[in-house]
Structure 1
Amino acid sequence: MPSRFQVEASQGAGFVELFFDLVFVFAVTQITGELAHDLTWSGLGHALVVFWLVWWAWTQFTWSLNEADTDHTVIRLLTLAATASAFFMALTVPLVTEIGGALFAVAYLIVRFIGLWLQRILASGDDAWAEAVRKWVLTSSLGLLAVIVSIFVPGETRMAVLAVAAGLDVIAAIRAGREEWRLLAAHFAERHALFVIIVLGESLIVAGATALDNELGSSDLVVTGLAVLITVGLWWTYFASAKDTCEEAMDGQPERRLGGYARDVYSFGHVPIIGGVIAFAAGLESGLLHGDEPLGPAGIAIGAGVALFVGGTGLVMLRAGTRIGWPRWVGFVVILGSIPFLTGLAPSPALILIAVVVLAVAVAEPRGAITVASQSR
C-alpha cells in the first residue's frame, strides 16, 4: 500500500520545493563567481567538482519529492531542514579548499542524508521500489563516505577526495538506474525545467550586476542587451521543443526503464545544460570586467557554455528518441568552431556572433524535421 507521505494524484512543484531551489541558485551564483575570477584549468576543475556535488544534492531531491505529498507537515519540515543545510553549503562554496570546506562537506552530507531518508519512507509500501531505494542507498554510501573523509584532509587534497566522491556518485547512479522506480513524469520534468529557468535568469542577474559595477557605460548596455538576446534564444531552444519532448517520452517509458531514462535525460543529461549556463555567465562576468579588451579565457567560457547548452539539449532529445533537424547541430558546430576566434574579440562583437547563431537555431529548428520516435511500452 502507498506510504502515508505519498501524494494521491499527480502534482505540480510545491512552494517548499521552489524555496529549496532558490537556495541552490545561490550555490550556482557562488560557483559562477568563483569560476569568473579564476578562468584557468585549475579553476575549471574546482568549479566542476563543486558544481557536481551541488547538482547531485539538488537532483536527488527531484527523485525524493517526486511522489511526496509536499503539503504534509513531515515532508515540509524535512525539506526545510535540507534547505537550511543547503544554504550553508552554498555559503561555503568559495571556501571548499580552506578551513570552511569542512562546513561545506557537513552541510552537503546533511542534505544528502535527508534526501535518502525521504526516499526510504516514501518507498516503504512498495516492495520493488523499496528494493531499488535500498540498493541506491547502499551504493551511494561509498560516495558519502568519501565526502566524510574530505572533512579531515586539507586544501587541494580535499578537492581530490571530493572528485573521487563525484565519480562514485556516477557509478552509484548507473547501478541504481537498472532498478524499478516510481516517478511522475510531469512533476519530474517540471522541476528540471524550473531550474533551467532560474539559472538562465541568474545569468542575466550576473550580467546586469557586473554592468552596474562598471557604471553602466554605453558598451556595457550593448553587451548586456546582447546577453539578454542570447539568453532568450537559449530559453527558446529548450522550451520550444526539448522540455515537452523529454517529458512525453518519460511518460511513455515502462517502469523497468523509467529509472534509467530519468537518470540519463535529467540527472545526467541536464549537467551540460546547467553547467553551460554557469560557464556562459562566468564568461560574461569576466569579460565585462575587462571592458573593450579582448575576451581571452572569458571567450572560451562564453563559447563553450553556449555550445554545452545547445548541444546538451540536443543530446537529451536524442536520448528521448527524437530525430533532430540540422539547425541545432550546425549551430553547435559553428559555436564550437568559433571559440578560438572569440578569445581575440572584444565582448560586443563576440556576443553578436553568438547571438546570431543562437537566434538562428531558435528560429530555424522548428522548420527542421523533429519527430518523436515511438516509445516502447
Structure 2
Amino acid sequence: MQSKDAETSYVSLFFDLALVLVVTNLSNLLAHTPNLRYLLITFAIAVPIWWAWVGFTFYTARYSQRHTSTSVLLVVATLFATSLATTLDSSWSLRLRVFFISYAGLRWCLVAMYVFAARRTSSPLAWFYVKGFGAAAAISTVSIFLPKPWCFLAFLVGLITSIALPVIAGKRQLLSTARINPLQFPHRFGLIFMIGLGTALFCVGEAIADSKDSAQSLTLGTLYFALITAVFWRFYAPLGKEIEQEEVFTALSGPQGGRLARDLFSYGQFPGFLGVVFLAASVKVLISEHDPTLNPTISLILALGLMCVMVSILAIDITLWASKSGWKQAWIIPAIGLALLVFNNTPVILLLTLTVLTFGSGAQGAIMRGNILRNSQEVSPAP
C-alpha cells in the first residue's frame, strides 16, 4: 500500500462527520428516558451502528481510498448514516423501517466497495467479503419487510453473520492476503474517538444553553469539561507521540502480534464508543434537568460511560504498548465502581472524584508509555 493511502481521505472524514449526529441523537434517546430499559436499548442500537463504522474502517485500512468508486460510495454511505441518525429519538420504534433501510444501505455500500476492490486487486479476502457481507446484507434487507418480532430476528441474524465473517476469514488464513495498513489504522480509530469526545463537549454547551439555572449549569458544565479533558489526555498521553504509537502497532501487526493487535485494538474500541454516548446522555440530563430524583440513575449512566471509555483505553494500552504495564492500570475500573457506590446521590462530588481518578490514570499511562518509548529507542540500533 502506498504511503499516501496511510492518510485518511477527505471523503472518509466527511463520512466520519455523520458520527457526530449519530452520537448526539443516540445520547438524546437515552437522555429522554434515563432508565435501565433505555440503557439496554441504547446498547443494542449502538452495536450495529458501531459495526457499520468498523466495516468501512477495515476497508479503508486495507484498500486504497483514492479511487472514484470508493469516494462515491462513501458519499452515499454518508447519506444512509445521516438517515439512520434521524431515527434515533424518542419515536425510534415508529421509525424502525427507516433504521433497517439505512443500515442495509450502509452494508450494501460496503459490499459494493469490496466488489470494486476485488476486481482491482483480485484479493481472495475481498471476494470472500463480497459473498459473506452480501449474504448478511441480504438478510438484513429482509428485516425491512417482516413484522415484529420477526424483523428483529432477521436483523440479528444478519448482524451476527457479518460480525462472524472476519473470524472465519482469519481461520481460513485470508486476512494475511490483504494486510491492514498499521499507519492508517490507529489514526482512523483515534479520529473517531476524538469526534465522539468533541460531540460530548458540544452536548455540554448545548445543555448549559438550555438550562434554566445558569449558575449551577455552569458549575456542572465546568466539571464535565474537566472530565472530558482528562479522558482526552488519558487517551492521547503522552502528547506528541503519535508516530511512535504507529511504530509500535507496526511491530505488533507482524506474524506474532498481528492477531492480538487486530482483534483487541479493533473490537476494544466499541466500549469507548458506547461510553461517549453514555457520557453525552448524562450531560444533558444532569445539567438541563437538575432533578434530584434522577441523581442515582444519572450517576449510574455517568460511571458506566467512563468505565466503558477506560476499558477501551486499557485495551489499546495492552495491545499497543505492553500487556503487563497495561494490566497494572486496571485499578481504574473498580475505583470508578467504588466512587459510584459512595457518591451515587451526589453527581457533583462524583464528577470531581471521577475527574481526579482519570487524571491519575492518565499520569500513570503517560509514565508507562514514556518508559516504553525510551526503552525501545535505547534498544533500537542506530541508523
TM-score by length of 2: 0.84
Q: Which runs of 5+ in 1 are unaligned?
A: 1-5
**Cα 1:222/1:156, change in 2 over 3 Å:** farther
8 Å contact from structure 1 (residues 269, 316) kept in 2 = yes
Deviation at 1:69, TM superposition (A): 4.7
Residue in 1 aligned with 2:317? 317
The answer for the alignment partner of 1:339 in structure 2 is 340
User: Which protein is richer in helix relative to its size?
Assistant: 2
- Name 1:203's counterpart in structure 2: 200
One of 90, 93, 96 as aligned partner of 2:88: 93
Partner of residue 188 from structure 1, selected from 172, 181, 185: 185
TM superposition score normalised by structure 1: 0.86
Alignment of 1:108-127 (within 5 A): 108-127=103-122
Equivalent residue, structure 2, for 1:286: 285
Tell me, yes or no, if the aligned pair for 1:226 and 1:351 is still in contact at 8 Å.
yes
Q: Could you tell me how far 1:124 is from its partner in structure 2?
A: 3.5
Q: Check the 8 A contact 2:19/2:195 in 1, yes or no.
A: no
Q: Which residue of 2 aligns with 1:300?
A: 300
Residue 171 of structure 1: which of 164, 168, 186 is its match? 164
Indicate the residue corresponding to 2:133 in structure 1: 140
| Match runs of 1:6-155 below 5 Å | 9-66=4-61, 68-94=63-89, 98-127=93-122, 130-154=123-147
**RMSD (Å), alpha carbons:** 2.9
Note closer, same or farther for the CA distance 1:145–1:340 as it changes in structure 2 (3 Å cut): farther
Amino acid at match of 1:344: N
Contact 1:143 1:166 in 2 (8 A): yes
Distance 1:239 1:91 in 2: 31
Contact 1:185 1:247 in 2 (8 A): yes
5+ residue gaps in structure 2?
A: 377-383
**8 Å CA contact 2:114, 2:127 repeated in 1:** no
Contact conserved, 2:268 with 2:311, CA < 8 A, in 1?
A: no
**Hey, what does 2:268 align to over in structure 1?**
269
Cα-to-partner distance string for 1:324-372 (whole Å, 9 max, x where unaligned): 2677322222112222334311x32121111111112122332347648
Cα shift readout 1:53-94 (whole Å, capped 9, x = no counterpart): 111111111122235554443332221111112211111233
Q: How many residues align?
A: 365
1:40: Cα distance to partner? 2.8
| Aligned CA distance change for structure 1 residues 8 and 320 (closer, same or farther; 3 Å) | closer
- Which residue is 1:3 aligned to? none
Identity over aligned residues, as a percent? 19
* CA distance in 1 between partners of 2:206 and 2:367 (Å): 37
Preserved CA contact (<8 Å) 2:233 2:362: yes
Is the alpha carbon distance of 1:243 and 1:11 closer, same or farther for their aligned partners in structure 2, counting shifts above 3 Å?
Answer: closer
- Report if the CA contact (8 A) 1:219-1:348 is conserved: no
